[in-house]
Structure 1
Amino acid sequence: MPHLSVHVLESDLAGRETVLISALTDAVVSVYGEWARGLVDIKLIGLPPHRWGVGGKPAAQPSPFVTFGIKAAAFDRPDADEIVARLVTVVTDAITGVFGDHVRDGVTVELVATPAGRTGIGGVVTTS
């Protein structure tokens, strides 16, 4: 199940939640296929400006930061480099489609691998 956590300034996020969730879901589906739509899990984390720092001081206009949880097995596939590149591109495009192209150069998409057996749902360790 793809999990995306998006950190963005609350003032930039307000009123754009629904369109951002839709754009990010569509982006993931464009790589994985329609079967994944119901599995895409998105958490939007709005931060006040004084709670986001860069270089030891509050950031002036930070671009969104996306943590994309992905099964570690995806990195073992022969086409892993292509999948990673496509995910980074489509997620960045979705973010800029909502917030504007001026954030593109700063958008960070971090793919975080989860090995099989290292996640639990409902108090039970999942094996896939």
Structure 2
Amino acid sequence: MPHLSVQVLESDLAGRETALIEKLTDAVVAVYGEWARSIAVVQLIGLPPNRWGIGGAPAQAPSPSVTFGIKEAAFSRPDAEEIVARLISGVTEAIVDVFGERVRAGVTVELVGTPAGRTGIGGVVVTS
């Protein structure tokens, strides 16, 4: 299942939660198809000021950072480069739509692949 964890300053996030969840889900659906809407998970993690550091000092206005968990098998598909590019582009555009152009240059999207059999739901290992 696509799983997005977004780290953003709490002050930037406040009042934008619903829009961000909707835009990020739409970005996932644009790549995977409508079937993915019901299983896309978005977690928003708002950080207080001074709890985000860059270069050894608290960051003044960091852009959101997204960790996007997907099945590792996606990286071995023949169209993997295209999928990766579309996911990164779509997620970045969703972030920019919500927070504005000022964040674009710093938005980080990290795709993290999980091998089959390394995830569990409800206490049961998911093998596919």
What TM-score comes out, normalization by structure 1 length? 0.99
How far off is 1:45 after superposition?
Answer: 0.1
Amino acid at match of 2:25: T
User: Structure 1 runs of 4+ off > 3 angstroms?
Assistant: none
2:90 corresponds in structure 1 to: 90
Residues 52-108 of structure 1: per-residue CA shift (max 9 Å, x gap): 011111000000000000000000100000000000000000000000011000000
Task: Give the partner amino acid of 1:117.
Answer: G
Distance 2:53 2:101 in 1: 22
Aligned match of 1:49: 49
Question: Which letter does structure 2 place at the counterpart of 1:89?
Answer: S
> How many Å separate the matches in 1 of 2:126 and 2:109?
25
Deviation at 1:124, TM superposition (A): 1.1
Which secondary structure state, in structure 2, belongs to the residue aligned with residue 51 of structure 1?
A: coil
Counterpart of 1:14, as a letter, is A
* Count of aligned pairs: 128
TM-score, with structure 2 as normaliser: 0.99
Partner of 1:74: 74
Corresponding letter in the other structure for 1:42: V
- Percent sequence identity over matched residues? 76
Distance 2:42 2:15 in 1: 16
* Counterpart for residue 119 of structure 1: 119
Q: CA deviation at 1:49?
A: 1.4
Task: Find out whether 1:3 has 2:7 as its counterpart.
Answer: no
Structure 2 residue ranges without an equivalent (≥5): none
Secondary structure of the structure 1 residue equivalent to 2:102: helix
Q: What's the Cα RMSD here?
A: 0.4
Counterpart of 2:72, as a letter, is A
Q: Tell me, in whole angstroms, the C-alpha distance in 2 between the residues paired with 1:19 and 1:113.
A: 26
Question: CA separation in 2, counterparts of 1:109 and 1:22?
Answer: 17
In the other structure, the counterpart of 1:25 is 25
Structure 1, gaps ≥5 residues long:
none
CA positional deviation for 1:123? 1.0
